Structure 1
Amino acid sequence: MTSSDIQTGASTKRTLPPLTPGPYKKRLGVVALIATFGGLLFGYDTGVINGALRPMSEELGLTAFTEGVVTSSLVFAAAIGALVGGRIADSWGRRKTIILLAALFFIGAVVCVVTPSFEVLVLGRVLLGLAVGGASGVVPVYLAEMAPYEIRGSLAGRNELMIVVGQLAAFVVNAIIGTIWGDVAGVWRIMLAICVLPAIALFFGMLRNPESPRWLVEKGRNDEALAILRTIRPENRAEAELAEVQSVSNAERGQHQLGWRSILTNKNLLRILLIGIGVGIAQQLTGINSIMYFGQTVLIESGFSQNAALIANVAPGVIAVVGGLLALAMIDRISRRKTFIIGFALTTTCHLLIGFSSLVLPVGNPIRPYIILFLVVAFVGSMQTFLNIAVWVYLSEIFPLHMRGFGIGVSIFALWVTNGFLSLYFLTLVEAAGITGTFFLFAGVGAIALVFVITQAPETRGRTLEELEENVTTGAIYTVSARQARARKRR
């Protein structure tokens, strides 16, 4: 597609009618709630290992290395799931793909619960990882494509909120079960079994959810798309929005840039893909998932007893949910770039303070574990308020429709691979460098990430997905601010 094609399409568009009160809002809310059970499963399956790992290791005779394998097998499989899930969603549709992922969540959980050995456990974790990775890419795209642009951030961001709710649920379940039945053989199996319930809810809920109207337009099924839009938009808005989506889709129909070759030969598509990859990697290099997976170990290293660390570990989970609620409240009010800058500045500061505290407060100092717990909670709160939700929303909206599944799949593949290596080597790093060296290293990486988002990440808030698509394809997204884009559209 040439620049003139895009400009012609843009010039014929009209300002969309405003959102007005109506029953569509309730319907849209139910659709989003059902889809975000994928995020709940994502959170529970990644967070449950935090408390289940120690009793699991005792029963199955795991070593430090095989503990890392059990933890990271889910994460590396999630990288593959994100990459493959995006392509499947582009071919099959967002709805059918999420239904498939729900079934995979269920099967993986059952395999983990009944496992007789380390090898079968890893197999179950791999199945769960494929589902987690697929959900991490497909659910945000589904929500972003279902949402009106005015509330796209807060609606798509609900998935990340459900992820941290799932992680908090895992921490609370672990603490309760571990405290009451900690001496019972196989207690970790009960912890893992809980996630079959939301998997069932996701499967049957998505059977009733509609397909993404934008995906239907891409496939030429315009009547179906309009029928769905009429259930989740005001009547006049549904028709105008369909016309806008069709305008962009028709202009691009002759060129389907869906693979590496097409992206590598288009500098604007390649640049936005590299930015998506960079933002995903930067999020993981804060070490947030190392805290969510191994938070109990960090707290034990700081001076807590094992049982006290299991209970104290609930605090980061609580602040993660609080931070997620704050993020949803402000995500459509503050620019994405500003949110990223604040987030990386705060998390880097927390890393420095954790490293400094562990350096000046010797092991055995009675206030050491509480200071470090406070700073870990501050780090998690900063991360959830300013980075986690914003990053997932950002990745769901920056890619053009014809490469959206592929683009977010590759970006999240890179995110999960980074997460996987951190999961595999985090305990080794803590053992070698201690809390001090580990968090000073995170601080250095955070400073680099801050420079990256300041210099490279374009703004996306306040633009429709079709508007973003045009701006990415022409390169205007790197030179035109969201405010300027909205002003041009009104003219």
Structure 2
Amino acid sequence: MNQVRATTPPAVPLDEKGPHSRRLRLVTVIATFGGLLFGYDTGVINGALPYMKTDLGLSPFTEGLVTSSLLLGAALGAVVGGRLSDRRGRRRNILMLAVIFLIGTLGCTLAPTTAIMVLSRFVLGLAVGGASVTVPTYLAEVSPAERRGRLVTQNELMIVSGQLLAFTFNAIIGNSFGETGGVWRWMLVIATLPAVVLWFGMLVMPESPRWLASKDRFGDALAVLRQVRSARRAEAELAEVRQLAIEDKKSQTGGLRDLATPWIRRLVLVGIGIAIVQQITGVNSIMYYGTQILTDAGFSADSALTANIANGVISVLATFVGIYLLGKVNRRPMLIAGQVGTTGALLLIGVFSLLLPAGEGRAYVVLALTVTFLAFQQGAISPVTWLMLSEIFPLKLRGFGMGIAGLVLWLTNFAIGLTFPMLVAALHISTTFFIFVGLGVVAITFVAKYVPETRGRSLETLEVELHSRFDRSQPVAAGKEN
């Protein structure tokens, strides 16, 4: 089981344009409605929370609990969703998640008490976590290697678009009906629409060809590949997938017991590290509490709601840049550059929050720096994180590995979402951001030392390379990658 594969999967020809290209684009658009829901449901709390605080009588602790209960659900949803996608298939799992999105959204919208809100947000989190690991996996497995970076990152684009939609609807509804009781319920219920689109859309989408191959359904896998590849490419790619699927089956990979295998265990640890790196920038302190951060900096409540739209706009624009760069730049340098940028922006937010008096001047400086922070986060760190997590795990272990990494990612997110209001209350916002600066330095060191390069390989070739690399007896280190 520890023996390194002696053979590398044969190279496949580049894909050609044709009707299958339109089919692949449609598959990508429909599947990424899961990302849109992920973004909307995590972003909507930003503007809804101030109104919810009044209606439900939230304290700083229950405020953090309402926000972070979704994240705790997402942690469980990620690990369970990863396992279910390995057992039942990526497509069937996304269909189930669409139903959970709908149930959770309606529960939050109609919640009469804080307890019901926390429970409904937890249920909604199950869907968010499941989508966070299943959708990138599905996209990675239906995409050709040369387009995988851009197609998988379409999900990140939909996540930030969902957050932008949430910020925009929050501002419109809040500024127009802010004096109306229960206005936050209208902010939340909008998420039912993309959940319905996702469910109906996935009914007519194909299953992942690589998952089908892992279940020895090679004929079905070829039929799906012919939908999204040229005929010549489909045949060659199936041969590559078949070879590795058979070898994985012989090695019995695909579950918790495989963590006893050194190369798999070390690879999962690297995946966990990548997941933590994405969260300890403190990005979700801005995505969840951005309106309150801007209010504390000097904006009025209505102005903060409107100004927060800038955070959503820059996230979408930066993701477009990130999608372009993923086709041109290696993953690891891009991740390091993003970490340097976010750490620098947080340092400046902390410094100016200390030095500048409260008022419009400080408010606009903080807004400019949060926009800068999000440009680096959403343009480099977040796209690379979800892409690399969808790439690095072996076929039979992909859902499980993504689930473990997703579990840790969402637990880290939960810890930040729960403690941020209390840290700000106890330490002031500048000291809180200085803590994130220190974590950013640790993250940069980890990425430079341990994270492998994944660009330009098919999933099968990448599996062989990572098996060889992580099966060594010496500690993991960054090798020479192109």
Which residue number corresponds to residue 52 of structure 1? 48
Cα deviation, residue 186, structure 1: 1.1
Matched, 1:151 2:147: yes
Q: 1:254 aligns with which of 229, 250, 253?
A: 250
Tell me what 2:447 maps to.
453
Pairing partner for 1:326 from 321, 325, 331: 321
CA separation in 1, counterparts of 2:115 and 2:224? 45
Please name the residue that 1:43 is paired with.
39
What is the number of residues matched between the two proteins?
477
Scaled by the length of structure 1, what TM-score is found? 0.95
Which letter maps to 2:237? E
Deviations 1:414-449 (A, max 9, x none): 000000010001011111222211111111110110
Q: Which moved further from structure 2: 442-451 or 251-260?
A: 251-260
Match of 2:352 in 1: 357
Q: Which residue of 2 aligns with 1:7?
A: 6
Separation of aligned partners in 1, 2:248 and 2:295: 56
Residue identity in the other structure for 2:225: L
Q: Deviations over 1:99-125 (max 9, x none)?
A: 000000001111111112111111211
Code of the aligned partner of 2:268? L
Question: In the alignment, is residue 114 of structure 1 matched against residue 113 of structure 2?
Answer: no
SS of 2:250's equivalent? Answer: coil
Which residue of the partner structure matches residue 400 of structure 1? 394
1:486 maps to which residue?
A: none
The answer for the alignment partner of 1:221 in structure 2 is 217
- By how many angstroms is 1:64 displaced? 1.6
Is 1:69 the counterpart of 2:65 in the alignment? yes
Partner of 1:488: none
Runs of 5+ consecutive residues of structure 2 not aligned to the other structure: 472-476
Question: Does the 8 Å CA contact 2:163/2:312 hold for their aligned counterparts?
Answer: yes
Kindly indicate whether the alpha-carbon contact (under 8 Å) linking 2:2 and 2:261 is maintained by their aligned counterparts in 1: no
| Structure 1 residue 59, shift from structure 2 partner | 1.2
Of 218, 225, 241, the residue aligned with 2:237 is 241
CA contact (8 A) 2:267 2:470 kept: no
Contact (CA 8 Å) 2:349, 2:433: kept in 1 or not?
Answer: yes
The equivalent residue for 2:469 is 475
> How is 1:236-315 mapped onto 2 (pairs within 5 angstroms)?
236-263=232-259, 265-315=260-310
Q: Which whole-Å deviations, capped at 9, do the CAs of 1:119-138 have from their partners, x for residues lacking one?
A: 11112111100000000000
The Cα of 1:480 is off from its aligned counterpart by 5.8
- Is the counterpart of residue 137 in structure 1 residue 133 in structure 2? yes
Q: Is the CA contact 1:429–1:438 (under 8 Å) kept in the aligned structure 2?
A: yes
Quick check: 1:269–1:472 contact (8 Å CA) kept in 2? no
Among residues 193, 197, 210, which one is paired with 1:197 in the alignment? 193
Tell me how far 1:476 sits from its aligned partner.
6.1
Matched-pair contact (CA < 8 Å) for 2:393–2:401: yes
In the alignment, residue 87 of structure 2 is paired with which amino acid? S
> Distance between the aligned counterparts of 1:474 and 1:131, measured in 2?
35
Unaligned runs of 5+ residues in structure 1 are: 484-491
**In the superposition, relative to structure 1, how do residues 90 and 373 fare at CA in structure 2: closer, same or farther (>3 Å)?**
same
> SS at the partner of 1:183?
coil
Whether contact under 8 Å (1:461, 1:482) holds in the other structure is no
1:31-72 deviation line (CA, Å, top 9, x unaligned): 000000000000000000001111112112222211111110
The answer as to 2:343 corresponding to 1:348 is yes
- What is the aligned partner in structure 2 of residue 435 from structure 1? 429
Q: Is the 8 A contact 1:462 1:482 kept in 2?
A: no
Report the RMSD for the aligned CA atoms in angstroms.
Answer: 1.3
1:442-489 CA distances to partner (integer Å, 9 max, x unpaired)? 111101100000000000001110011112222269676454xxxxxx
Per the alignment, residue 161 of structure 1 pairs with 157
Matched, 1:426 2:420: yes
The answer (yes or no) to whether the contact 1:109–1:192 under 8 Å persists in 2 is yes
Change (3 A) 1:104 1:395: same
Does the residue aligned with 2:428 lie in a helix, a strand or coil? helix
Q: Is the counterpart of residue 172 in structure 1 residue 168 in structure 2? A: yes
Contact 2:448 2:478 in 1 (8 A): no
Of the three residues 402, 417, 421, the one matched with 2:411 is 417
> CA distance change for structure 1 residues 440 and 417 in 2, over 3 Å: closer, same or farther?
same
Letter in 2 for 1:275: V
Superposed CA deviations along residues 293-343 of structure 1, whole A, max 9, x for unmatched, are 000111111111111111111111100000011101111211011101101
Question: Which residue of structure 2 lines up, in the alignment, with residue 487 of structure 1?
Answer: none
- Say which is worse superposed, 53-62 or 372-381, in terms of deviation: 53-62
C-alpha contact (below 8 Å) 2:451/2:478 kept by paired residues = no
**TM-score under structure 2 length normalisation:** 0.97
Residues 463 and 482, structure 1, Cα contact 8 Å, conserved in 2: no
TM-aligned CA deviation for residue 276 of structure 1:
0.6
Separation of aligned partners in 2, 1:40 and 1:110:
17
Match of 2:474 in 1: none
User: What is the distance in 2 between the residues matched to 1:156 and 1:481?
Assistant: 25
Q: Deviations over 1:168-223 (max 9, x none)?
A: 00000000000001111111111000000000000000000000000000000000
C-alpha contact (below 8 Å) 1:400/1:469 kept by paired residues: yes
Equivalent runs, 1:96-107 vs 2, <5 Å: 96-107=92-103
SS at match of 1:15: coil
Could you tell me which residue of structure 2 aligns to residue 382 of structure 1?
Answer: 376
The 8 Å contact of residues 79 and 133 in structure 1, kept in 2 or not, is answered as yes
Asked if structure 2 preserves the Cα contact closer than 8 Å seen for 1:272 and 1:399, the reply is yes
SS in 2 for 1:246: helix
Deviation at 1:383, TM superposition (A): 0.5
Greater Cα shift, 437-446 or 35-44: 437-446
1:290/1:422 contact within 8 Å kept: yes
Using the TM superposition, give the Cα deviation of residue 291 of structure 1 relative to its aligned residue in structure 2, in angstroms: 0.4
1:130-187 Cα distance to aligned partner (Å, 9 max, x none): 0000000000000000000001010001111100000000000000000001111111
Query: Is the 1:280–1:415 contact (alpha carbons within 8 Å) kept by the matching residues of 2?
Result: yes
Supply the distance in 2 between the matched residues of 1:476 and 1:380 (Cα, whole angstroms): 33
Residues in 1 aligned to 2:172 and 2:437: alpha-carbon distance in whole angstroms: 34
Of 331, 334, 347, which residue of structure 2 is paired with 1:336? Answer: 331
